[in-house]
Amino acid sequence: MAGSGPRVGVLALQGDFREHLAVLGGLGAEAIPVKRPEELASIQGLVIPGGESSVMDKLSRMFGLADPLKAAIRSGLPVYGTCAGLIMLADTVLDAIDGQQTLGGFDLVVRRNAFGSQLDSFETDLEVPAIGGDPVHAVFIRAPIVESVGERASALASLPDGRVVAVEQGNLLGTSFHPEMTGDTRFHEYFLAKVGSA
Ligand code: GLN
C-alpha cells in the first residue's frame, strides 16, 4: 500500500489487519504490516487490529515484539486499537485467559467478551461528539467493554446504557467495535490526525 502520507504500521500477527491496511492506504497513508521488532523503528503510528487478544498476546511475546511495542507505546507512538487491539492496550483486562498479558499503557479496565454468548455480535449507531457529524455505525464482534476509564483516559462514545465503547488518552485511541468493516473512515481519519500532530 503506497501512499504519500505518514508511514503507519498495522500489527499483522493475527486478526483483521488487512482491512486496516486497506482503509489506511485509501486515506493516503503508507500502510505497512508489522511483524518484526525492526519494523517499529520506521513507523509514525500503529494500529492493533481485531482478532483474538490471547493469541495476539502469545504471538507478540513469541516473536519478541511485546517489549519493543510496550516501549514504543510509552514513548508516545500514536496507537489505535480496535476490539482485541483495545484489549492489548488496556492496563487491566477482566475475563482474560490464564496467563494472558497486555501491552498496557491505556489507563483502562476492559472486560473481554463482555456481551456474552446471547449477543455475540451486533450493530448499532453511536453518537461520537469528538468525531462529529452523523452517528457512527458500529459493528461489535465478541467485543470488549470498557468497564472503567482511568484518570488519564477519557470516553469518546457509549452505548445507550452508558457502557463505554470508545476511548482516548493522548496518542492512544481505542474502540470496542470495528470501523475498518463499515466503510466509515472517520475513526481512522481521527487517528491519522493524531499521527500528524504527534
Ligand atoms: N473476543 C476477542 C478477544 O478477546 C476480541 C474480538 C474481536 O477482536 N473482534 O480478543
**pLDDT category of residue 4 using cuts at 50, 70 and 90:** confident
Residue positions counted in the chain: 198
Contact 79, 38 (CB under 8 A): no
Q: What average pLDDT does range 65-86 have in this prediction?
A: 98
Alpha-carbon span 15 to 94, nearest angstrom: 21
* 2, pLDDT greater than 70: no
What 3-state class would DSSP assign to 20? helix
- Set 20, 83, 168, 188: catalytic member: 83
State which amino acid sits at residue 135.
P
> CA–CA distance from 151 to each of 55, 79, 130, 148, 162 (Å)?
29, 19, 18, 10, 18
What pLDDT, on a 0 to 100 scale, did the predictor assign at position 116?
79
Q: Is 87 touching ligand 1 by the criterion CB < 6 Å?
A: yes
What 3-state class would DSSP assign to 55? helix
**pLDDT category of residue 117 using cuts at 50, 70 and 90:** low
Alpha-carbon span 164 to 22, nearest angstrom: 27
Mutate to test the pocket of ligand 1, among 16, 52, 97 (most ligand atoms within 8 A of CB): 52
pLDDT tens track for 144-160: 999 999 999 999 999 99
**pLDDT category of residue 91 using cuts at 50, 70 and 90:** very high
Contact 196, 4 (CB under 8 A): no
> What is the phi-psi region of residue 83: left when phi exceeds 0, alpha when psi lies from -120 to 50, beta otherwise?
left
Contact 180, 136 (CB under 8 A): no
| Domain positions in the chain | 7-197
Q: What is the pTM of this model?
A: 0.96
> CA–CA distance from 44 to each of 139, 171, 181 (Å)?
27, 11, 23
Is residue 137 annotated as a catalytic residue, yes or no? no
Which residue in this structure is represented by grid cell 457529524?
133
For 91-114, give the secondary structure using H, E and C: EEEECCCCCCCCCCCEEEEEECCC
pLDDT tens track for 9-30: 999 999 999 999 999 999 999 9
Alpha-carbon span 82 to 133, nearest angstrom: 21
Q: How far is the CA of 85 from the centre of ligand 1 (A)?
A: 8
Residues 6+ apart with CB under 8 A from 64: 37
**pLDDT category of residue 129 using cuts at 50, 70 and 90:** very high
* 3, pLDDT greater than 80: no
Q: Is 52 touching ligand 1 by the criterion CB < 6 Å?
A: yes
CATH number assigned to the domain covering 7-197: 3.40.50.880
* 194, pLDDT greater than 60: yes
